Amino acid sequence: MPTTAIIKRSVMLNGVKTSVSLEEAFWAGLKDIARQRGKTIAGMLSEIGASKNTGNLSSAIRMFVFEHIRRRSGQP
């Protein structure tokens, strides 16, 4: 099974520098969603961070992207 590269990026979230580690597919999904909504990546991360139900921002981003795709596909 091929491995998926995890990419770690430093981002500013509410004025605090933090690191986020995500697979390339999730970074790409996040960029697409931000573009569709007319927002920056930083803006999307602030929105996700404010509404996350977990203590882990990377997991919250994955769930956000997953839920976005699920909703677009018409799945409940």
Q: Which domain holds residue 60?
A: 12-72
SS (H, E, C) 20-69: EEEEHHHHHHHHHHHHHHCCCHHHHHHHHHHHCCCCCHHHHHHHHHHHHH
Q: Does residue 63 form part of some domain?
A: yes
C-alpha–C-alpha distance, residues 11 and 18, integer Å: 5
Q: Does residue 2 form part of some domain?
A: no
Q: pTM of the entire structure?
A: 0.84
50, two tokens: 């404010």
- State the DSSP code for 3: -
**Each residue's pLDDT expressed in tens, for the chain with a length of 76 residues:** 455 789 999 988 878 898 999 999 999 999 999 999 999 998 999 899 888 776 789 999 999 999 999 998 877 6
C-alpha–C-alpha distance, residues 15 and 65, integer Å: 23
Q: Does residue 6 form part of some domain?
A: no
Q: Does residue 5 form part of some domain?
A: no
Q: Does residue 4 form part of some domain?
A: no
Q: Does residue 51 form part of some domain?
A: yes
For the chain, how many structural domains are there in total? Answer: 1
